[in-house]
Each structure stands twice: as C-alpha cells, then as structure tokens.
A and B are shown apart, each in its own frame.
Chain A
Amino acid sequence: MALPAKLGEVLELFDTFDDPLDRTNLLLSYADQFKEVPNAVARRPFGCEHRVPHCESEAYVWAMKQPDGTLKLHFAVENPSGVSARALAAILDRTLSGRPAAEIAEVTPDIVERIFRQNISMGKGMGLMSMVQAVRSLAQAAAR
C-alpha cells in the first residue's frame, strides 16, 4: 500500500533538503507546531500503556477513533529537551490524523531515516522509530 499522501509529500520535501542547517530549520518548524494531547483525551499522569518504549524523551501516543472511522493521533513529550520527538510527533499528527486506521498501519519506522538523516544519533533514531512503531501498533489494533 502507498504511503498516506500527506506523509509522502512531507518525505519528498525532506528529500530535497540536503543542507543540514536547512533540515534542522525545517524540523524545528515542525517542533514549534507540536500540540500536546488535550485534557479531554488524557491528563497527567499519563497511563504507561500509552508510553512509547525505548524513547528517552518520554513520549506518549494516543489514537482516537473518529465517527467517520478515521484516527486522530495525539502525543505528549515529557522531556523538555525532546525537540526531535516533538518534531516527529507534529509530522505524524499533521500527515496521518484523519486517515483510516488500515492506511496508518502501513506506515513503517524507516520514515525516521528519511526525515532526520544526519540529524540523529543511533540511540535517538531508534527511540524515534519506536514512536512510529507505537503509532503503527495502535492503528493495527484499531483496524481489526
């Protein structure tokens, strides 16, 4: 199955940015758009069942089924230094929310490499991949 169209467009945009500084600024612009999970969906302390494993930025993810059958993704990033996690959360929310669960379930963690490329260390990259995997797992469960 093809990637959701909006996500595909964002990945193509990142593909065109070869300069590390340009990529940094683009990632930062996404991080600035990050919106935390609203109180109506979850309040602190967040349930550990929503915690992304292996993410040292202490990220949480929720996938809420909408009346039209699509999913709305929500995130929280508790580590104030977790700028990369907030950037990825904003990208996933903007490109995947409003899509059917079955479509989101096809998104694989390797998108992290296309988005961040040289901007991440190995440990950080695996934590971010875990965020995508957590979204994928929730979407797979919702699609059943």
Chain B
Amino acid sequence: MVRLRHNHGMTDITSRGYAHPEVLVSTEWVAAHLDDPLVRIVESNEDTLLYASGHIPNAVHVDWTADLNDPVRRDYITHKGFAALMSRIGATSETTVVFYGDKNNWWACYAFWVFQLFGHKNARVMDGGRLKWTKEGRPLTRDVPAMKPTKYRAAERNDKPVRAFRDQVLKHVTAKGQLVDVRSPEEYAGTRMHMPDYPNEGALRGGHIPGAKSVPWAKAIDPEDGTFRPASELVDLYVKTNKLKKDKPTIAYCRIGERSSHTWFALKYLLGFKNVKNYDGSWTEWGNSVGLPIEK
C-alpha cells in the first residue's frame, strides 16, 4: 500500500523541506507529461533488458555501460559522444530530461550525474522510480519511441564541479576532509570485498578510505515506494548521526561511483551541501592502488 503522503504529487515533494525540490518530479507529473515535446523521459537500469521488457510510454533508454562510458578507457564519453547521445534521444539544451529506473533510482541518479559533467542542468529525477510507477499500476509499454534526431551543441566535459579523482581524494584525506562511504557496512569494514549478492569485481584490499563515514546509500530511501526520505530524516541521518557538515567539501564513493551518485544527489540537491563530489574511481581504484592508505 502506498502511504498517503506520497499521493499528493508535487505538493508532497515541495513540502518535504528539500533545498532544491525542483530536481524531483512525481510520478503524477510524469504521467501528465508523457507527450510533452519539451520533456524527455529517460530510463536507466543495471539490467539492460529491463527497459525492453516494459517502460513508461515515450521513455527512451540510456544504458550506463553502452551510452555513458567510453568504450575503451575507464572514463565517461566525451562531449562529442554526449552530443550524439542527446541527438539520439531527441533532446536539445531546452529539453527537460527526467531520469527514472529500478533499484530506487540508483542508475537514474548515476545517469543524472554524468549529464551534469556536460552541464545539462535541465534535468530531474522521477521520485520513486520504476518501483513507485509500477506500484501505482501506471502503464508500461514495449513500444520504443522514434525520436527525431536533434543537433545538440554539447559543452566540453567539465569534471571539476562534481567529480573527484584519486589524487584529489588523497589530498582530501590528508586534510581530514569529509568522506562518505555509501557501500554496505561489510564492505566498509573490509569483511566483504563486494556488495551482498554481487560477485567480487576485483579489489585486492578490503576496508575504507581513512576518515570516511559509513552511510549506506539506500538509507536515504523509503523502501516501500522508493521515494527519497523527507529532509528532516536525511538531516538526522547525514548531519546529526554522522556529523557531516553542509558547508564542508564532501566526497562520496562506493565501488565504481554508481551508488555514490545517488548519495551525491541527496546531499547536493535535497540537503543543499555546498561542495559535494562523486569519486567514481571509488573502491575498485582505491582498493587496488599501491600505497594508498586504508582503514579497517
């Protein structure tokens, strides 16, 4: 049963006390904009078959491996790749891109974060993602919309505002800066080298980056319907319990930067943290690098 507070659409989102409530849209809002030419609905999941098995009408698919990552290097696409992607999904710089997906919008937030590397600010996340949409009995289709290709002038990728690299993280550690480890407590403790129910993807050492607070990413979510918890509960979690300060530079990390993009989203937009970056190298880089400090 969907709880009452989630039945009020946008009013509900704006009443939750977020610093930037405009980055979230409700399922009701999306249902009312399915045919809006200025809105492009984008589904991103881990399982690439999930979109094909049924998606929101007129939604397009953005696959995190094939569409967002460089096919050879461990890096993201260039601005040329981003322009081609936006052309394929029929988006211009004026288009409001609304992301949603499974696993409480884990991959949707990752795609949202990658879009910010190219400065596409006109982006939103559908609160609750696939879980809420399907729980509400809203329609899914297998029809893939044919989008008219656009000419999108992409800016050069600018990593600096939202992305952290290994050497920056090391300096941050030395300066005793704020870090959030969003993996499971077992991964944080180093007793497990991978996510529960996931295989080991090759980190040679277990543990966490020194000084990092352990706040598993899904704690920001109401598991009943996948929506973000209200600001008061997020403040309890991040600020009161884990002593993270909004005005201090903060770096979030996980295994490859996907779960931590979800926390990055919550800290930056919902709580208004002033300077928060996602370290996508994350544990698969840190736990394999020679000589980097590790805490257990």
Contacts and interface: CB of A to CB of B under 8 A. Distances in A.
Interface string A45-83: 000000000111110000000000000000000000111
Contact of B47 (A25, A118, A124): A124
Chain A facing B: main interface SS: helix
B137 interface: no
B47 A54 contact: no
A81 B52 contact: no
Contact of B49 (A56, A87, A122, A123): A87
A135 interface: no
A124 B103 CA distance: 14
Q: For this complex, into which size category does the number of interface residues on chain A fall?
A: 20 to 34
Contacts of A57: 47
B50 A83 contact: yes
Q: For this complex, into which size category does the number of interface residues on chain B fall?
A: 20 to 34
Nearest to B255: A123
Contact of A54 (B48, B52, B197): B197
A107 interface: no
Contact of B53 (A31, A58, A122, A124): A31
Interface string A110-132: 00000000111111101100100
Contacts of B70: none
Contact of A81 (B45, B66, B201): B45
Best-buried of B52, B64, B66, B102 by chain A (most CB within 10 Å): B52
B85 to A, nearest CB: 15
Interface string A3-35: 000000000000000001000110110010000
Interface of B: 45-50, 52-53, 64-66, 102-103, 130, 142, 195, 197-199, 201
6 contacts: A28-B52, A54-B199, A55-B197, A83-B47, A123-B46, A126-B199
